[in-house]
Structure 1
Amino acid sequence: MRRFGSVIGVRPEKLAYYKHLHANPWPEVNAMITKCNIRNFTIYYHDGLLFSYLEYIGDDYETDQKMMAQDSATRRWWAETAPCQLPLPGAGEGGWMEMEPLYHLD
């Protein structure tokens, strides 16, 4: 299993809508996340930042990510969430910046 943590900003005027979307996630998007071997996916909010955590249980992360990116429901979901997000300086495609893990205890 691989663990990932990422961070991105959120536009203050879009925060309520972003929270609404994630309080009512689309079932087909959740199903695709699961199909792509992602578990324990969580997004946290604090002071203008969104922090995500997920565990990847598959064998080919890049292939699973490509499959997710080709899914029409996921693409529509991203079209809703992307305008809410504010990429941080230096972030790559998608805007989320991967965080370096420093400590973990099971």
Structure 2
Amino acid sequence: MKRIAQIMFLHADSYDEYQKRHSELWPEMKAALKKYGATNYSIFLNRDNGELFAYLEVPDVDKYNEIANTDVCKKWWAYMEPLMSTNPDNSPVTVDLDEVFHLG
């Protein structure tokens, strides 16, 4: 299992709406995440600066990355775009983190 950690950036006035939208995650988005291998997916918010820390586990990173090509993922990105820093394709701006320690 590969552990993935990323930082994303939420607009200061969007904290509550971001949490609300994730608490109401579309069933088809949830199904896509599972189909492409995501497990133990959590997102944490630093309310001091709007940084989001995302953590998930996947058996195959290449397969997981294919989710970006799905209609539901593109629709989700467009839905979330007003709340956070995004790339031109509406995907979230992310900083991938390197794992330096794991207590297994």
1:97 aligns with 2:99: no
Q: For residue 102 of structure 1, give the secondary structure of its aligned residue in structure 2.
A: coil
Letter paired with 1:4: I
Query: For 1:12 and 1:42, how far apart are their aligned partners in 2?
Result: 20
Partner of 2:6: 6
Partner of 2:80: 81
Q: For residue 86 of structure 1, give the secondary structure of its aligned residue in structure 2.
A: coil
Partner of 2:71: 72
Alignment of 1:1-40 (within 5 A): 1-40=1-40
Which ranges of structure 1 fall in alignment gaps of 5 or more residues?
88-92
Query: For 2:16 and 2:92, how far apart are their aligned partners in 1?
Result: 21
Query: For 2:28 and 2:36, how far apart are their aligned partners in 1?
Result: 12
CA shift digits 1:9-47 (9 cap, x unpaired) = 110122221111111111110110111011111100012
Asked if 1 retains the 8 angstrom alpha-carbon contact of 2:84 and 2:92, the reply is no
1:56 aligns with 2:63: no
Query: For 1:7 and 1:50, how far apart are their aligned partners in 2?
Result: 5
CA pair 94-12 structure 1, distance change in 2 beyond 3 A:
closer
Shift of 1:94: 3.9
Which TM-score applies when normalising by structure 2? 0.83
Query: For 2:6 and 2:81, how far apart are their aligned partners in 1?
Result: 15
Aligned length: 98
Structure 1's consecutive aligned runs of 4 or more residues displaced over 3 angstroms after TM superposition are none
Query: For 2:4 and 2:77, how far apart are their aligned partners in 1?
Result: 19
- CA-atom RMSD, angstroms? 1.6
